[in-house]
């Protein structure tokens, strides 16, 4: 899956054809694409890039009357600023501990420790990938220190998912500094040779050369509304530091790319035949909203309750929480000019097995009832862009997983917003 998206992200012509119809109306994609063009035209950036990807899957029933027809389907591919690695590890460890405690109080003959998944070392998976990228940064030997710059959002609630990565890097003697998105322009300096220098806020003793820019910010449309916001991203991309990931890697995670890859025939353009079939099978059917509407109109029809009942509408934004489900879609479209429809992907809803029950500790209290779970497979990648859109994979490894569960009635799955919980799969 990593190879598929990276191959697509390396093929600029193909990407351009995918984004072309959206550039006029999707401001976020236009901003990112424009930054890519500026960097390309100036001959800036790095040929090497890295990524912490998270491919999210849910179980889907081909036939809702039989659980035997369940198979994994891709919800979305996250290529930018993926969160959850540290939380997932903490929660798995917690569940394993609690299961042990609960079992220990039973009489010795009556014990049966549930078979929980092994601890995921996903924090270390992220750290390993960043360290590999740091080592891949070639620089003529100077007496300058190099460092990883973790670009973060100010006051982000989710800091506990960032700090363990920072500490893990330092423990392996890779300096890592947090820099808040609004401070990037004042704390960094871009030299003519592309070197990015960072001055830690705690000391003014030395400028440090940035080897890797690890983005944990820059995924919100709002971060690009000011000129300073756009200049922030542009400076980072323009530098020869390795970006985790660069702007093309970022764009590869948009819904429109997922939709384009899901179209019959496209997967095998990027993957060998034997892999293509398996990968193709995890895609749900999806289409651009504008394209679908035009097709219906050509047949004298329009979007109606029947058309949207088992569909979900998704914009090109990171993370959950922006989607519309079933007939909500019609209400939402009533308030949107037709020219903006091209910004949305419409995807067949995943139909998870209905009879899985769970116990969740939500903001509002304890929930006991049917649940739906989502498996996120974390991948750590480092790659090199060759001539004419070729991809040179330098590293591609499974870097752990995340597992989240929500009540079945809740459509959105976004733990930070309180719509679900980190969880731990039970294997028996």
In the complex, which residues of this chain contact a copy of itself (CB under 8 A)?
A: 97, 100-102, 104-109, 143-145, 147, 167, 170, 173, 175, 200, 202-203, 205-206, 208
Contact predicate 221/254, CB 8 Å? no
Q: What sign results for the dihedral spanned by CA atoms 366, 375, 33, 260?
A: negative
Task: Identify which of residues 64 and 145 has a Cβ nearer to a copy of itself in the complex.
Answer: 145
Lookup: tokens for 264: 């019959």
Q: Which is nearer to a copy of itself, 173 or 363 (CB)?
A: 173
Nearer to a copy of itself, 338 or 368 (CB): 368
Beta carbon of residue 147, minimum distance to a copy of itself (angstroms, whole number): 7
Is 347 annotated in a binding site? The answer is yes
If the CB atoms of residues 206 and 225 are measured against a copy of itself, the closer one turns out to be 206
Token reading at 101 = 């405690």
- Residue 337: other Cβ atoms inside 10 A: 8
Residues 6+ apart with CB under 8 A from 350: 58, 59, 60, 73, 75, 284
Q: Are 159 and 167 in contact (CB under 8 A)?
A: no
With tokens 């999210």, the residue in question is: 56
Q: Does 322 show up as a binding residue in the annotation?
A: yes
Smallest distance from a copy of itself to CB 401, Å: 22
Provide DSSP, 177-195. Answer: EEEEGGGHHHHEEE-TTS-
Tell me: is residue 43 an annotated ligand-binding position. Answer: no
- CA 413 to the chain's CA centroid: 14
Taking the C-alpha atoms of 269, 270, 275 and 278 in order, what is their torsion angle to the nearest 10 degrees?
A: -80
Q: Is 323 annotated as a binding residue?
A: yes
CB of 88 to a copy of itself, least distance (A): 19
Q: How far is the CB of 157 from a copy of itself (least distance, A)?
A: 22
Cβ closer to a copy of itself: 37 or 104? 104
Round to whole Å and give the CA distance between 97 and 95: 5
Is position 349 annotated in a ligand binding site? yes
348 assigned to a ligand binding site:
yes
CB of 152 to a copy of itself, least distance (A): 16
Q: How far is the CB of 393 from a copy of itself (least distance, A)?
A: 31
* Smaller CB separation from a copy of itself, 174 or 257: 174
Flag whether 406 is marked binding. Answer: yes
To the question of whether residue 16 is assigned a binding role by annotation, the answer is no
Q: Which is nearer to a copy of itself, 99 or 330 (CB)?
A: 99
Q: Are 187 and 124 in contact (CB under 8 A)?
A: no
Helix residue spans in 246-401 (DSSP H):
247-251, 255-262, 267-270, 273-280, 289-298, 305-308, 328-334
Q: How far apart are CA 111 and CA 106, in angstroms?
A: 6
The reply to whether 110 sits in an annotated binding site is no
Provide the minimum distance between the beta carbon of 173 and a copy of itself in the complex, in angstroms, as a whole number. Answer: 8
The token pair that represents 375 in the structure block = 């498996």
Q: Which of 321, 296, 338 is nearest to 410 (CA)?
A: 321
Q: Which residues line the annotated binding site? A: 54, 76, 78, 255, 314-323, 325, 347-350, 374, 406
Q: Which residues line the annotated binding site for Mg(2+)? A: 76, 78, 318
Q: Which residues line the annotated binding site for ATP? A: 76, 255, 314-323, 325, 347-350, 374, 406
Q: Which residues line the annotated binding site for substrate? A: 54
């Amino acid at each position: 899956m990593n190879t598929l998206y990276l191959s697509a992200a390396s093929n600029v012509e193909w990407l351009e054809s995918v984004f072309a119809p959206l550039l006029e109306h999707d401001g976020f994609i236009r901003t990112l694409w424009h930054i890519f063009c500026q960097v390309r035209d100036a001959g800036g950036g790095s040929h090497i890039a890295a990524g912490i990807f998270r491919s999210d899957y849910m179980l889907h029933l081909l036939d809702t009357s039989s659980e035997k027809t369940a198979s994994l389907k891709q919800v979305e591919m996250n290529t930018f600023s993926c969160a959850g690695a540290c939380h997932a590890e903490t929660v798995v460890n917690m569940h394993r501990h609690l299961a042990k405690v609960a079992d220990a109080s039973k009489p010795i003959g009556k014990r049966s420790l549930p078979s929980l998944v092994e601890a995921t070392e996903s924090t270390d998976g992220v750290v390993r990938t960043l360290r590999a990228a740091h080592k891949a940064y070639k620089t003529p030997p100077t007496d300058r220190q190099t460092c990883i710059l973790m670009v973060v959002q100010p006051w982000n609630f989710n800091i506990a998912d960032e700090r363990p990565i920072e500490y893990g890097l330092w423990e392996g003697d890779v300096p890592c500094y947090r820099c808040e998105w609004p401070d990037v322009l004042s704390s960094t300096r871009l030299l003519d040779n592309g070197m990015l220098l960072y001055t830690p806020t705690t000391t003014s003793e030395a400028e440090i050369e940035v080897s890797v820019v690890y983005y944990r910010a820059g995924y919100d449309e709002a971060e690009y509304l000011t000129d300073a916001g756009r200049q922030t991203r542009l400076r980072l991309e323009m530098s020869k530091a390795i970006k985790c990931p660069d702007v093309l890697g970022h764009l590869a995670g948009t819904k429109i790319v997922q939709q384009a890859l899901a179209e019959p025939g496209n997967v095998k353009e990027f993957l060998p035949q034997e892999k293509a079939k398996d990968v193709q099978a995890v895609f749900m059917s999806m289409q651009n909203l504008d394209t679908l509407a035009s097709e219906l109109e050509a047949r004298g029809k329009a979007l109606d309750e029947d058309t949207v009942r088992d569909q979900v509408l998704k914009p090109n934004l990171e993370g959950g929480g922006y989607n519309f489900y079933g007939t909500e879609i019609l209400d939402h479209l009533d308030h949107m000019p037709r020219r903006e429809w091209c910004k949305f992907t419409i995807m067949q809803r995943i139909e998870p097995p209905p009879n899985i029950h769970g116990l969740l500790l939500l903001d509002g209290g304890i929930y006991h009832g049917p649940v739906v779970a989502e498996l996120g497979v974390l991948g750590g990648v480092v790659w090199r862009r060759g001539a004419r859109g070729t991809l040179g994979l330098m590293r591609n490894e499974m870097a752990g997983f995340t597992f989240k569960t929500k009540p079945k009635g809740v459509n959105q799955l976004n733990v930070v917003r309180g719509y679900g919980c980190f969880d731990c799969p039970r294997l028996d």
